[in-house]
Amino acid sequence: MELKASTMEDDMNYTSLEEDGCPLFFHKDAESGYFSGISNVSLKEDNLISSKQSLLEPPHEPRKTPESPGISQPLKQLNISSSSSTLAIQNTEFSKMVCRDKNGDTQLHTAIWQKKVQTVIYIIECIVSVDRGWLNFPNLKLQTPLHAATLQRMVEIVAFLMKENADIRICDDQGDTLLHIASREGYDDIVKTILNTGDRQVVISCIETHNYNGQTCLHLAANGLHFSVLRLLVSSGADVNVKDGMYNYTILHCVVQRHSSELLDYVLDIENISLDATSYAGETALQLAERQGFCDMSKVLREYTNNIRSKYL
């Protein structure tokens, strides 16, 4: 085969991809895609051309990879390397994880609703490695993964999310934190996890927070007759005389309203419980019991009131 000597004009029509790690030459006029227009010149022919080129031209600095147009720029944008490829895959997986469905649920929400523990843990670990803030991402009901895990009573997931610094102060569309939900449902195991794991000041803030119905965690536990939850909250320093925003009830009013003699005995034994606190209707717990016709509770409250007064006479 007769090999023609390379001219300056011929060489200028080829762009080297050596900077991109590819020992090929591409004809500029033939480029229409990433790998179109690849020269059929053999490696041996390339070496000969390069040799003659060096004789015809004085030494010069290697040409820079053209920014536009040219095949090198698309390849440069791809940034093909093992680390960047891994990052691209991670970002793709992360995008899928935080993509929301018609209910606003991410894949993390969905895995929790389905109680797929291992899947939940895997997703949490992936999210933490990219952006921890997505652990607090709410659905359309403003429920974070912590709300979902609490509703599903997944104690280990609640603990894991809290360990990864998920925010327990966030409220859903009812104004409930996860502590409100656990108190309402009587999930004493989750309440205990929150109280033992969370920051002290943050936990107290959640205990004192009123939801959109004006209820604190204490009111929810009392209304639900959840003795164990009520005891946990009181032992954590909850204000036992706090009033709700609906009737101005204390937990003593709530217990009387629910007609629970067992819980009444416990509440009356709480230190500093107020017997004189009144509702918006101006009723004490005793007056509420009398109006409701709860004779047994009225009797207990009268005796307790008399005993208290006798101590100070």
Phi, psi of 16 (to 5 degrees): -75, 140
- CA separation, residue 72 to residues 26, 46, 54, 76, 312 (Å): 10, 19, 24, 6, 92
Q: How far apart are CA 184 and CA 128, in angstroms?
A: 30
Give pLDDT, residue 84: 40
Contact 111, 119 (CB under 8 A): yes
Global pTM exceeds 0.75: no
Q: Of 72 and 130, which is predicted with more confidence?
A: 130
Query: What are the structural domains, with CATH classification, of the chain?
Result: 8-78 (no CATH), 241-313 (1.25.40.20)
DSSP secondary structure letter of residue 35? S
Q: How far apart are CA 213 and CA 176, in angstroms?
A: 9
Q: How far apart are CA 137 and CA 140, in angstroms?
A: 10
Residue 179, number of CB atoms within 10 A of its CB:
28
Q: Of 52-56, 183-187, 203-207, which gets the smallest average pLDDT?
A: 52-56
Residue % of the chain over a pLDDT of 90: 62
CB proximity list for 285: less than 8 A, separation 6 or greater: 250, 252, 253, 255, 256, 275, 277, 301
- Identify the CA nearest to 176 among candidates 221, 233, 217, 218: 217
Please write the tens of the pLDDT for every residue from 22-62: 433 334 344 444 334 444 444 444 444 444 444 444 445 54
What's the whole-number mean pLDDT along residues 231-245? 96
- CA separation, residue 191 to residues 128, 129, 158, 182, 246 (Å): 24, 28, 10, 6, 24
Residue % of the chain over a pLDDT of 70: 67
- Identify the CA nearest to 124 among candidates 142, 138, 136: 136
Type of residue found at 215: Q
Give pLDDT, residue 131: 87
Q: Of 100-104, 152-156, 240-244, 256-260, which gets the smallest average pLDDT?
A: 100-104
What's the whole-number mean pLDDT along residues 149-160? 98
The widest CA-to-CA distance across the chain, in whole angstroms, is 126
- Identify the CA nearest to 250 among candidates 231, 229, 268: 268
Helix then strand then coil, % of the chain, to nearest 5: 55, 0, 40
Q: Of 66 and 99, which is predicted with more confidence?
A: 99
What's the whole-number mean pLDDT along residues 81-108? 65
Give pLDDT, residue 74: 41
Please write the tens of the pLDDT for every residue from 259-277: 999 999 999 999 899 999 9
Contact 238, 218 (CB under 8 A): yes
What's the whole-number mean pLDDT along residues 147-164? 97
Give pLDDT, residue 4: 46
Q: Tell me what the pLDDT averaged over the chain comes to.
A: 79
Confidence band, pLDDT 50/70/90 cuts, at residue 94: low
Contact 66, 15 (CB under 8 A): yes
Q: How far apart are CA 142 and CA 237, in angstroms?
A: 28
Please write the tens of the pLDDT for every residue from 162-183: 999 999 999 999 999 999 999 9
- Identify the CA nearest to 158 among candidates 183, 189, 184: 189
